[in-house]
Amino acid sequence: MNPNRLPVFVYGSLLDGFRNWELYVKPYPHHALPAEVKGRLYHLPTGYPGLLREGEGTVKGDVLLFSPEVYDEALRGLDELETYVGPGDPRNEYEREIVTARLAATGEERRVYVYRYVDEAYAKRTGIFLDDGDWRAFMRRRGE
């Protein structure tokens, strides 16, 4: 595997069953593997989640393995959705970082990209902390 073509861990509106999955994931051949990463998750007033890297908590989601022939196009779409312009750019809403994900089925660890929410102070001040790290379950509980 090309070291620059890492799988992508998703934990919010890019999960199957949500609108952004339909628009940004479904069109591209891929496999989704349930997994988790370290971090803290907040549901933001804008209606989507933000992952913060602090803490020992875990965040549940899926590792997306895109087919090589569509990888670059799929990642460009995800970068656009997440308002990620480039490493450390002040316009970023999310920063694309490399972290370790643990696959739920096997416990195997994989290096993956994840979109970390940049404005941690805003997330803590206005967001709802999800102590179970599971945005999909949170949205089901809310009936959305």
Catalytic machinery residues:
82
Of the candidates 63, 59, 49, the residue with the CA atom closest to the CA atom of residue 139? 49
Distance of CA 109 to the CA centre of its chain: 16
- Residue entry with tokens 């899926």: 62
DSSP state for residue 2 in the 8-state scheme: -
The strands making up 128-130's β-sheet, listed across from edge to edge, are: 49-52, 40-43, 128-130
